[in-house]
Each structure stands twice: as structure tokens, then as C-alpha cells.
A and B are shown apart, each in its own frame.
Chain A
């Protein structure tokens, strides 16, 4: 079954404690990205990756890092989380960018930073 899997699904952490949200897809997709969803703001792209070792900033990259060492994995790293990073995070993938390709989303990770 085609899947985008992200973990953890729910996390409460304290300010400044580094955390990583993992994302894995089993569809051999080239394109992966991270979004955060906040009330009234919809989904905003944090980072995206066109392929292995190719990453770029989205609209709201501050406070986040990513890496793409393998095609299937695209972890999101918060080096020093702050309360304004409390949000619902979605990982997504598609076969490749462009050409009207469908994005597949993970189920979301609820992150609370206190």
C-alpha cells in the first residue's frame, strides 16, 4: 500500500530540546516536502527536496532543518524548538515535481512546544 509515514504523531516537548520528526515514503517518489498547518493560514511549505541530497527552503524555513540522504526518508529537525513552532506538521511526497503529479500526505504530527 502506498504510504507516507511520519513519526511521532503526537509530541509535547520543552523549549530548546532538539527533536526530529521522521518521514518515510514507500513509493520511490523523488519529491518530498514538509508543511505546517495553522488555523487561518492553511498549509505553508517549510522545506522541500527534489531528490537525494537536493533540498531547498519553502516559505517558512526559519527554525527548521532537513536532510535527504536516502530517497525514501526526509526528516524534519527542530534544533531548538520554540512555542511558535507548535503546529500540525505534514510530510508529503510526489513522483516528481511538475506535470500535475498528485501529492500524497502523511497523517500529520501534532507538535506542542511548551
Chain B
């Protein structure tokens, strides 16, 4: 079945460091891919998405490119801030089966 695997955390970085959170997926057909962010005590918010191969989603300095050849959707940011500290979830929308699949989440801690 479809699934999403993302790197385990927590990830601890200093402010202005480069961020990569890896995400790979297994899916039948052509899924859409998402990154969601969860700030402490809040629900999940959409960060970015890509709906077809080679699309790049971007928002708030974060980017992720839909790579069909490597079945990946890694999240990157060139310079993280303390305010980026949150849990990040990679997600897949399985079009044929009308279901969303989430990774286990990666906690990011950014220190001043």
C-alpha cells in the first residue's frame, strides 16, 4: 500500500543553518505530495505542496521538489530561524484511493 517515510528527529540546528528533512514515498499511480507544519499546541498547517513530478512547492523560504525518479520530496530551507521550530509532516494524497498518508513527523529545534 501507499506510505510515507521521513527522517526521524529531533533535528537540532543553530539559527541560519541549512535545513534538510528527508521524505520518501511509496505509491500507486501519481500522488500529490505535501509538507505540513505543526507549531506547539496547534493543529497542522499546510506549508507547501506539489501535485506532479518535477513541481517545486515553496513557501516562507521552504522548498521541496517532487522527484518521481527517486520517489522523494525532501524539505529544504537555506537559513532557519528560531520561529521555524515545529514538527514537520510529509504527506501523500493517494488520488485513486481518496486517502491521505502522513509520515511520522520530524521535530525541528532551532537554537539562537
Task: Point out residues on A near B: beta carbons under 8 Å.
Answer: 4, 31, 33, 35, 40-45, 48, 50, 58, 90, 92, 97-108
Name the distance in Å between B79's Cβ and chain A's nearest Cβ. 26
- Give me 8 A-to-B residue pairs in the complex whose CB atoms sit less than 8 angstroms apart, sorted by A's number: A41-B104, A43-B44, A45-B99, A99-B95, A100-B51, A103-B34, A103-B100, A108-B43
Interface pairs A-B: 4 shortest CB-CB: A100-B51, A97-B98, A42-B104, A100-B32
Interface SS of chain B:
strand
Q: How far is it, in angstroms, between the C-alpha of A103 and the C-alpha of B93 when the chains are bound?
A: 10
Q: What 1/0 mask marks residues of chain B from 15 to 53 whose CB sits below 8 Å from any chain A CB?
A: 000000000000000001010100000111110010100
Q: A41-B104, A90-B43 are in contact. List 18 more A-B contacts (CB 8 A).
A: A35-B102, A42-B89, A42-B102, A43-B105, A48-B98, A92-B100, A97-B93, A99-B51, A100-B49, A100-B51, A101-B93, A102-B34, A102-B46, A102-B49, A103-B44, A103-B100, A105-B44, A105-B45
Q: Which residues of A contact B89 (CB under 8 A)?
A: 42-43
Name the distance in Å between A103's Cβ and chain B's nearest Cβ. 6
Interchain Cβ contacts within 8 Å, total number:
60
Q: Which residues of B contact A107 (CB under 8 A)?
A: 42-43
A42 in contact with B98 (CB, 8 Å): no
Q: Which residues of B contact A41 (CB under 8 A)?
A: 104
Name the distance in Å between A112's Cβ and chain B's nearest Cβ. 16
B51 in contact with A45 (CB, 8 Å): no
Q: Which residues of A contact B51 (CB under 8 A)?
A: 99-100
Q: How far is it, in angstroms, between the C-alpha of A105 and the C-alpha of B45 when the chains are bound?
A: 7
Most chain A beta carbons < 10 A, residue from B45, B46, B51, B93: B93
Q: Which residues of B contact A42 (CB under 8 A)?
A: 89, 102-105
